[in-house]
Structure 1
Amino acid sequence: MGPAETSKRVRRGVPWLVLGLWVVLLAVVAPFAAKLGDVQQDRAVDYLPASADSTQVAKIQDRLPGGESTEVVLVYHRDGGLTAADRDTAAGQVAEIAAAHRLGAEPRGVPSEDGTTLMYPIASTEPGTDEQKRDAFVHDVRDVARSEGGLTVEVGGPGALATDASEVYDSLGGPLLYTTVAVVALLLILIYRSPFLWLVPLVVAGIADYLSMGVAYGLHQTFGTTVSGQSSGVMTILVFGAGTDYALLLVSRYREELRRVERPYDAMRAALRGCGPAVLASSGTVAAGLLCLLAADLNSSRGMGPLGTLGVLCALVAMLTLLPAVLVLLGRRVFWPLVPAFGSEPKQRRSLFAVMGSSAGRRPLAVLAGGAVLLGALALGVLNLPGSLKQEDSFVDKPDAVAAMETLARAYPGQGTQPITVIAPTAEADAVLSVVRGNDGVAAAERGRGGGGWTEISVTAKAAPQSAAETATIKSLREELDGAHEGALVGGPSAEQIDLENTSDRDQTVVVPLVLVSVLLILIALLRSLVAPLMLVAAVVAVWGASLGIGGLVFGPVFGFEGTDPGLGLLSFVFLVALGVDYGIFLMHRMREESLAGAEPGAAALTALRTTGGVIASAGLVLAATFAVLTNMGLVQLVELGFVIAVGVLLDTFLVRTYLVTSASVALRRKVWWPGRLSKEPEPPGRAPEPERVSVG
């Protein structure tokens, strides 16, 4: 067998081998991928700060008899005032609930001053798996607590809020996946203008998502990685968004090579050599940025780091192995009707990006200054962001639990309707109870369950839940107990919110520098420059500020949101910096290629924009659309995150990459590559070396 025949067999065999390996891999992960939903956890403790007092309280409650208690509030209301029959109905329903469930204490009704409302705080301490126990109890209470003849009955409180939030998260999986697939499919059809080609990257992305689910389950089983509805949803978004971006870049380069190279296998090898480093660096920046979230103290942020990284890496592996194999096996016909024939030349059309590049090239400093002013002006909208998001304001559509909390707020103005939980060592429980009752902001405090050396104390504040006065009460309780009883801890929903805000601020100061340093190091290694990486990072930071500013202009006035998720700043920063640098890598890597080929700095920048602008625009649209899917979900924090990232990606794609980075590169010329060898002026061609001077003695 001659060398030519051997080479031909290799070209035929490698794609089939890759395809076979993927079939085996999917067969291995299939049993695990189906189990990911079973280990998804959306309890408060899975989102809380890892080291905060409220988290420790929740963990200790898990170990008390009956596990973590499920606290709800039954709210009975009649506009004209409650009747004696209404009170009898309420007492009967509460008695029915008490007979069917193990409660922490005997429920006592608390009437409002105006006589229109009666609330019954109830805490269940039944054994069982926490989420299942909680949801079953809340549903049973709602089945019993029924409105009758003008008497409205609502079930609120922390347990009911958690159940409603869990149901929203559980409903995300299917709609999130289907909507993402539909959006990506539509965009790929418009981009490729082919009845077949769009299916290939979409199917490969779906396979990558399935792989990521199986590996995520293994990660959870091996290392105990937290899997929540938020983190698994974002993982799916990243697989389809980032994976489709990599596919767009590879397919675009493959199409170019098919015009220059006769055989699809050889054309794919050339395409992988050409864009492979950029794709690897791109995925490296995203993975490095997301892994920095492991330094966060907030459980929801820290758990998202490994799952997001896993999604990106699965997308990378699929798009650099499975996608090339499938494309080679399908041959040129997959591009029908716009088949790139060998030796043909693409139609020369003056593209939008050529026009944009020309305007940036003529007046680079003016374009740069104008863009900087625009981004700075948009960033001022951050000052209009609403305050921290309260638990009852975290739903897009108002569930029953939120309606109950609103009724309580109207009927009991300035009065605590949500318990504060204090956990104390049993030996010090009486002393702690005395300190708590002596606090000026406390209306009542009662001993609860005990076990394992701990005693639970249920505290009612005088102030409304999550108000400034209640916050002051919680902080003063912590100060008093820290001084006299160091083992005592203060938790509960309002304390959790305080810890959430404080930890978000801490995480931002720790994680942001880590992200910047890690991304910078990858860019320096790829581009062999200091100036270009600093320019790209400065650009994405400016985009982040402008995107949050736009959020400040629309969250309250347009969307009607009452607050901003405390973790929005950090998560949006990580995603926008890591994902935004992707497009900078695509552009600057091509610019570096053109410069190495001998092009002048200005020409290299404009050529890079002209050749990659369409791909960057397509990739940006796909990525923005996938994150925009989150704006259709039922939780405010997901809507805010999806909106900010989608807007940021669009700003990055159509303003920063096309105008500002190109303008800066044209203005800096060779200095953009400083201190690399491309920053030095080349020797003029044909220049003879100067004769050596000989000293004559």
Structure 2
Amino acid sequence: MKNTPRWARWVVPLALLILWLGIGGTLGPYAGKLGEVATNDQAAFLPRNAESTRVLEARKAFETSPSIPAIIVWTADGSRVSAGQQEAAARAVGSLAGRSGIAAPPSPAVVSEDGLAIQAVVPLAPGLGKELPTVLDQVRQAAREVPGTSVAIAGPAAAQADLSDAFAGIDGLLVGVALGAVLLILLLVYRSVLLPLVIIISAVFALGLACAVVYALADRGVVRVDGQVQGILSILVIGAATDYALLLTARFREELVVRGDRLEAVLAAVRRSAGAVTASAATVALGLLALLASDLTNNRALGPVGAIGIVCAVLSSLTFLPAVLVLLGRSAYWPATPEPADASAEGHGVWRRIAGLLDRSPRRVWMSTALLLMVLAGFSASLPSKGVPLEEIFVNDAPSVGAQQTLARHFPGGSGNPAVVITDAGRIAEVRAAAEGTEGVAAVVPVTASGRPGPGAPLVVDGRVRLDATLEAAADSDAAKETVRELRDRVHAVPGAGALVGGYTAQQFDTQQTAARDRAVIVPVVLGIILLILVALLRSLLVPVLLVATVALNFAATLGVSALVFEHLLGFSGTDASVPLYGFVFLVALGVDYNIFLMSRVREESFTSGTREGVLRGLVTTGGVITSAGVVLAATFAALMVIPLAFLVQIAFIVAFGVLLDTLVVRSLLVPALIIDIGPRVWWPSALARPATAATPGSPR
């Protein structure tokens, strides 16, 4: 390499740099445009084959005009509702008919049984998008014309507006917080000015490329994106790209000290890091693609989108970053510039002391850490994954949540979110009787020709009719889900009716059941994928099994801690049904990354030093960079907490805490202590399992 003409040494790095500058300049803006092709319509993310999803499609035929209901609820100030207030409410909703954004005439104003509140349903046009808050403001303004009352708006339209508001800052705020946290950590770790900026730019370029690819695919309907997927993509790319960059730059520093020549150092660093980086990326990408086996559409959506992000992170880390390192050389680390004297350094003192502890008492270390993790894992059974109640979906005080609570205090708990029954018109009497006889059902009313439920002849479409069953319990409660289960059993038993039960509560119930099925299918698939990748990388059978077992134990311990934190510190009474699966895929796949970084170096060192010394050297040389990578990844996922949604807060805590637990305990103590205690036979059936071969100087690296 030293004999290569000077101009030739710069051609490829400059070409790569120009290429990535072009990618960043051209595609970078797509990181802020992904919201244009995102949808936050939660109906599009239901189980594909569930009964409630079939009802959702069938009920469209009974809508005279497609609409999203906004439910106005008035509460009298300190007294019962007067006749004048009811008349004023009727005039207020009547004045909305025909206005822009109003799909159909509002329903009559109805007084609650306790006489303290009034409700009316205003059907809004679907697809209002950014105009939805303006239309809701018009509705709210008209409703305020009722004297002596307080006004709130509940229902799907209000919830959709709050959801859009929650995701409003996802393009800028989330990415800004994540990048700011990463930059601060890198400045503290490297004590360098240029290198943290280079790593941040590498991550930003990867994110821009990923968003551009996803935008093109989503615009053509190939993939689906919602706010949750969009946020996770940003965090995943930034965290992964930074992790891969940390591993490469740490190895470049080592090689630069030994070799002196920057081009040779970069080539050696890439050659010796690429295997670990690509194997790590493959575990995450293939683990995400395993989500395609899910029956939940939003899980399926995250799979390919996340995999695209990981591929872009690898491309940036193994092409853009090496090119910049060649051009900058030692100056990349200024003012902490590596010097030849650093070649004799054995690593940070902390890691030398940890290595000494492992060398003295490996069995005591792995048994105590394993016991600690198993104790924490014991609490995982107390983590409920039956869904998040409506009042806890938003971390802050969302207006739609308060309005729904007000509505539930004065009207049946299921008001505004009835169970929807689609049945054969010839069996309507029997089905209605079966529904009315179901415990927990407050009322059953057919949808008439007006397109709304009420008295009169039912609307018949293709020989089918629709019944709306108002539940006594709140639509998001366990009692409501049990009522839906019983309701299905009763109406399904009516011969020849072909009855189906859907609606909000049924959707939540079906999602919960589908999520449980997904975990049973996807968890073994992900573990199998990771095991195969580790076997191929480490050329061993026993080490991969041990690594998979340790990350699985780490995941169980993390769930145990999460159960305690969610209930006693954060006040969550439940978790989203998809949280355990998302947490498993991210934490297990990403947790294996750090074990791959460690064990690939341990394997390399073991060829020349034997297994015991190889573990100690590998831990000392990689301890600092892997810990830094874990802290960076934890910080990036923690940034998801800026989006005030319980689902993202729960995912953020599980992944951030789990990564730190894996980095500081599993990878630093449990895994190396186990390997040392077992000895060379841990590499069976590879040549390293034979001690004489393992310590042979000059063995292939």
TM, length-normalised to structure 2: 0.91
Residue among 473, 485, 510 paired with 1:463: 473
After TM superposition, give the deviation of residue 293 of structure 1 in Å.
0.6
Supply the distance in 2 between the matched residues of 1:439 and 1:92 (Cα, whole angstroms). Answer: 37
Q: 1:158 to 1:112 in 2, by over 3 A?
A: same
The aligned residue for residue 593 of structure 1 is 604
Residue among 640, 665, 668 paired with 2:650: 640
SS at 1:403 equivalent = helix
Supply the distance in 2 between the matched residues of 1:28 and 1:268 (Cα, whole angstroms). Answer: 27
SS at 1:97 equivalent = coil
User: Is contact 1:332-1:339 (8 Å) kept?
Assistant: yes
After TM superposition, give the deviation of residue 94 of structure 1 in Å.
1.7
After TM superposition, give the deviation of residue 200 of structure 1 in Å.
0.1
Residue among 588, 607, 617 paired with 1:577: 588
After TM superposition, give the deviation of residue 515 of structure 1 in Å.
0.2
After TM superposition, give the deviation of residue 348 of structure 1 in Å.
5.3
SS at 1:559 equivalent = coil
- 206-215 vs 52-61, greater mean Cα deviation: 52-61
Q: 1:621 to 1:460 in 2, by over 3 A?
A: same
User: Is contact 1:54-1:496 (8 Å) kept?
Assistant: yes
Matched ranges for 1:259-408 at <5 A: 259-341=257-339, 345=343, 347=345, 351-386=349-384, 388-408=387-407
After TM superposition, give the deviation of residue 136 of structure 1 in Å.
5.7
**Partner amino acid for 2:393?**
S
Q: 1:165 to 1:147 in 2, by over 3 A?
A: farther
**Partner amino acid for 2:572?**
F
After TM superposition, give the deviation of residue 26 of structure 1 in Å.
4.6
User: Is contact 1:32-1:218 (8 Å) kept?
Assistant: no
The aligned residue for residue 192 of structure 2 is 194
User: Is contact 1:594-1:608 (8 Å) kept?
Assistant: yes
The aligned residue for residue 121 of structure 2 is 121
Supply the distance in 2 between the matched residues of 1:684 and 1:241 (Cα, whole angstroms). Answer: 35
- 69-78 vs 527-536, greater mean Cα deviation: 69-78
After TM superposition, give the deviation of residue 533 of structure 1 in Å.
0.6
Supply the distance in 1 between the matched residues of 2:432 and 2:680 (Cα, whole angstroms). Answer: 71
The aligned residue for residue 568 of structure 1 is 579
Task: Give structure 1 stretches of 5+ with no counterpart.
Answer: 687-697
Q: 1:87 to 1:246 in 2, by over 3 A?
A: same
After TM superposition, give the deviation of residue 56 of structure 1 in Å.
2.7
User: Is contact 1:204-1:322 (8 Å) kept?
Assistant: yes
- 227-236 vs 378-387, greater mean Cα deviation: 378-387
Answering whether residue 609 of structure 2 is matched by residue 630 of structure 1, we say: no
Supply the distance in 1 between the matched residues of 2:132 and 2:51 (Cα, whole angstroms). Answer: 22
The aligned residue for residue 692 of structure 1 is none
Supply the distance in 1 between the matched residues of 2:302 and 2:46 (Cα, whole angstroms). Answer: 13
Q: 1:64 to 1:676 in 2, by over 3 A?
A: farther
Q: 1:61 to 1:379 in 2, by over 3 A?
A: same
Residue among 501, 510, 530 paired with 1:490: 501
Deviations 1:285-311 (CA, angstroms, capped at 9, x unpaired):
111111101111111211111111111
The aligned residue for residue 689 of structure 1 is none
**Partner amino acid for 1:247?**
A
Supply the distance in 1 between the matched residues of 2:118 and 2:67 (Cα, whole angstroms). Answer: 22
The aligned residue for residue 542 of structure 2 is 531
After TM superposition, give the deviation of residue 147 of structure 1 in Å.
7.7
Residue among 254, 257, 261 paired with 2:255: 257
Q: 1:216 to 1:425 in 2, by over 3 A?
A: farther
Matched ranges for 1:222-261 at <5 A: 222=220, 224-261=222-259
**Partner amino acid for 1:118?**
I
Supply the distance in 2 between the matched residues of 1:48 and 1:291 (Cα, whole angstroms). Answer: 19
**Partner amino acid for 1:566?**
A
Supply the distance in 1 between the matched residues of 2:40 and 2:58 (Cα, whole angstroms). Answer: 18
The aligned residue for residue 210 of structure 1 is 208
The aligned residue for residue 608 of structure 1 is 618
User: Is contact 2:587-2:655 (8 Å) kept?
Assistant: yes
SS at 2:568 equivalent = coil
After TM superposition, give the deviation of residue 238 of structure 1 in Å.
0.8
Q: 1:33 to 1:560 in 2, by over 3 A?
A: closer
Answering whether residue 683 of structure 2 is matched by residue 673 of structure 1, we say: yes
Deviations 1:552-589 (CA, angstroms, capped at 9, x unpaired):
11112111223211111100000011000000001100
Answering whether residue 553 of structure 2 is matched by residue 554 of structure 1, we say: no
The aligned residue for residue 511 of structure 2 is 500
User: Is contact 1:436-1:445 (8 Å) kept?
Assistant: no
Residue among 515, 519, 522 paired with 1:511: 522
SS at 1:443 equivalent = strand
The aligned residue for residue 447 of structure 2 is 447
User: Is contact 2:607-2:694 (8 Å) kept?
Assistant: no
After TM superposition, give the deviation of residue 415 of structure 1 in Å.
6.4
After TM superposition, give the deviation of residue 217 of structure 1 in Å.
1.3
User: Is contact 2:192-2:334 (8 Å) kept?
Assistant: yes
**Partner amino acid for 1:564?**
T
User: Is contact 2:89-2:146 (8 Å) kept?
Assistant: no
After TM superposition, give the deviation of residue 456 of structure 1 in Å.
4.3
Supply the distance in 2 between the matched residues of 1:433 and 1:658 (Cα, whole angstroms). Answer: 63
User: Is contact 1:278-1:589 (8 Å) kept?
Assistant: yes
Q: 1:268 to 1:566 in 2, by over 3 A?
A: same
**Partner amino acid for 1:496?**
Q
SS at 1:561 equivalent = coil
Supply the distance in 2 between the matched residues of 1:40 and 1:280 (Cα, whole angstroms). Answer: 29
After TM superposition, give the deviation of residue 55 of structure 1 in Å.
2.2
- 237-246 vs 165-174, greater mean Cα deviation: 165-174
Deviations 1:106-145 (CA, angstroms, capped at 9, x unpaired):
5233333332222223444x4x536568666544323322
User: Is contact 2:106-2:123 (8 Å) kept?
Assistant: no
User: Is contact 2:551-2:662 (8 Å) kept?
Assistant: yes
SS at 1:153 equivalent = strand
Supply the distance in 2 between the matched residues of 1:497 and 1:683 (Cα, whole angstroms). Answer: 58
**Partner amino acid for 1:645?**
V
Q: 1:547 to 1:150 in 2, by over 3 A?
A: farther
Deviations 1:67-120 (CA, angstroms, capped at 9, x unpaired):
653123211113522342432332222222235365667523333333222222
Answering whether residue 657 of structure 2 is matched by residue 650 of structure 1, we say: no
User: Is contact 2:638-2:653 (8 Å) kept?
Assistant: yes
User: Is contact 2:606-2:695 (8 Å) kept?
Assistant: no
User: Is contact 2:610-2:694 (8 Å) kept?
Assistant: no
After TM superposition, give the deviation of residue 459 of structure 1 in Å.
2.7
User: Is contact 1:33-1:215 (8 Å) kept?
Assistant: no
- 667-676 vs 637-646, greater mean Cα deviation: 667-676
User: Is contact 2:32-2:171 (8 Å) kept?
Assistant: no
Identical residues among aligned pairs (%):
38
Supply the distance in 2 between the matched residues of 1:683 and 1:233 (Cα, whole angstroms). Answer: 49
User: Is contact 2:412-2:472 (8 Å) kept?
Assistant: no
Matched ranges for 1:128-167 at <5 A: 129=127, 131=129, 137-146=135-144, 150-167=148-165
Residue among 161, 168, 171 paired with 2:169: 171
SS at 2:78 equivalent = coil
User: Is contact 2:687-2:694 (8 Å) kept?
Assistant: no
Supply the distance in 2 between the matched residues of 1:337 and 1:229 (Cα, whole angstroms). Answer: 41
Supply the distance in 2 between the matched residues of 1:122 and 1:473 (Cα, whole angstroms). Answer: 27
Q: 1:143 to 1:457 in 2, by over 3 A?
A: farther
SS at 2:567 equivalent = coil
Deviations 1:179-198 (CA, angstroms, capped at 9, x unpaired):
01110110111111012211
Q: 1:664 to 1:6 in 2, by over 3 A?
A: closer
